[in-house]
Structure 1
Amino acid sequence: MSASSQPISLTAFAEAITELSLESLHAEAAKLHNDINKLLESNAALEAEKAVETEEGIKFLDEVIAENEGVVKSKEERIALLKVEVENRGQVWIEPGKKDEKDQDKGQTPIVNGSGHAGAGEQRDESTDDGVYL
């Protein structure tokens, strides 16, 4: 990788995200999660490829896997910084795909990272709603 294509440092990233809207913070977290998932899938495919490779090929694949693992770690650190920024703004961070335990106890759908559609205290009857929610 050339010096000009290196990602910004974690310190610079932490400073930069303070200027982003809450919506942009969530979008960045989703992008990072997607990137991580793709890297993990790639590593799994590379591990499978090692079964038919020569010693030299295996060594190369191990280097690529190790580099991908380093990138995953970096992206996880960025997600942690996004979480801190969201929480510093007084919002609750909920990992994608997980429900908040307090909301589960009350039978309510949580507002994931502050991006809910219903107003505060407003409940939606999904049985009569034909809309598509992402």
Structure 2
Amino acid sequence: MSAESQPISPIAYAEAITELPLESLHAEAAKLHNDINKLLESNAALEAEKAVETEEGVKFLDEVIVENEGVVKSKEERIGLLKVEVEKRGQVWIEPGKKDEEVQAPVVNGAGHGAAEQENAGGQDADDGVYL
């Protein structure tokens, strides 16, 4: 990697993300998570390719895999910095890639997941109207 294409340092990255809106922080984390997944998939494919390579080819693939692992660690570090920034703003961090059912819904006015079921337990249909 040439000196001109070096990634931004973690310190500079942490300073730069303080200027971003919350939505951009989450979008950046999702992008980094996607990048990590692609690098891991690439490494798995490279590992499989080693079975049919020459000794020199295997050595080259090993170097590429190690470089990819370094990039993964760097991207994971950036996700950690994004998490710190989000939490510093008093917001809840949602890990990129989590499915909706893995993320707990917030409790509002003391009502959690079971509140709607309890209200409907009296036999009233939810479409009957609004009750105060």
TM-score by length of 1: 0.75
Q: Runs ≥4 in structure 1, deviation > 6 angstroms?
A: none
Q: Which residue of 2 aligns with 1:100?
A: 103
SS at match of 1:90: coil
User: What's the offset of the Cα at 1:2?
Assistant: 1.3
Alignment correspondent of 1:68: 68
1:94 positional shift? 1.5
Structure 1 unaligned regions, length at least 5: 109-124, 126-134
Q: Deviations over 1:45-87 (max 9, x none)?
A: 0000000001111011000000000000000000000000000
Give the CA deviation at 1:4: 1.2
User: How far does the alpha carbon of each residue in 1:71-107 deviate from its partner, in whole angstroms, 9 at most, with x for none?
Assistant: 0000000000000000000000011315334659x33
Q: State the Cα distance separating 1:35 from its structure 2 match.
A: 0.5
User: % of aligned pairs identical?
Assistant: 81
Q: Take 1:4 and 1:53, find their aligned partners in 2: how far apart are those partners?
A: 32
Higher relative contact order (CA 8 A, sep 6+): 2
Alpha-carbon separation, structure 2, partners of 1:101 and 1:29: 19
TM score, norm. by length of structure 2: 0.76
Paired residues in the alignment total 109
**Structure 1 CA distance, aligned partners of 2:105 and 2:23?**
23
- Residue of structure 2 equivalent to 1:49: 49
